[in-house]
Amino acid sequence: MSVRTVILVCCLVVSPGRLLAQNCPPTVISQDSYVQIPPGNVGGNKWLFAYVPDIKTSIFGSSWSPFQLSFVEGIYGPPFPRANGSFSASAFVDLRKSRNVRITPVTVTYDPRARGPVWTPQQVVLAGQTAKLQIDSVRTAWVGADTVTLRICR
């Protein structure tokens, strides 16, 4: 069996949705923080951010409880003071009350068979644009912050 054959077999096993998402750059977000989504990823909106709350992990750190990743769109201006930063859960509750934001929640759940997030690429409407979202990983840490790696693009 030649190397080309092996690569072809490998690539045919990967689903088409995952191949599409590979064209989107990954974004890594620590728990209790936010990051600006690059404007080119979703319709040029420079006021679109993703927020990850505290991730509740198991005692051994090998799994986590479902949590809500939130996409936060500023309507009249940016909802956060910088392109990225930490943000507490109580501050996020206050932000949700603002008329300047539109929030799109996405639930992230743990798949024990895959030992990672349930992998279901989905379409979400953000900033009036349909975007493809893929959660690549949720990394739990003994020391430091847990992180979420996602890909989102048109």
Is the pLDDT assigned to residue 138 strictly greater than 70?
yes
pLDDT category, 67, cuts 50, 70, 90?
very high
For residue range 74-126, list pLDDT tens digits in order.
999 999 999 999 999 999 999 999 999 999 999 898 888 777 787 667 888 88
**pLDDT at residue number 69:** 93
- Is the CA virtual torsion 83, 84, 88, 92 positive or negative? positive
22-43 mean pLDDT: 87
| Side-chain-side CA neighbours of residue 105 (13 Å) | 9
Residue with more model confidence, 22 or 33: 33
**What's the pTM?**
0.80
Query: Which of 77, 76, 80 lies closest to 95 in space, CA to CA?
Result: 80
139-146 mean pLDDT: 84
pLDDT category, 73, cuts 50, 70, 90?
very high
Which amino acid belongs to residue 44?
Answer: G
32-42 mean pLDDT: 89
pLDDT category, 61, cuts 50, 70, 90?
low
20-28 mean pLDDT: 74
Max CA distance (Å), the chain: 61
Residue with more model confidence, 35 or 1: 35
Residue with more model confidence, 57 or 13: 57
Write b or e for each residue in 90-108: b if 16 or more Cβ atoms lie within 10 A of its Cβ, otherwise e.
Answer: eebeebeeeeebbebebeb
Residue with more model confidence, 22 or 30: 30
Ramachandran assignment for 2, one of left (phi > 0), alpha (psi -120 to 50 degrees), beta (any other):
beta
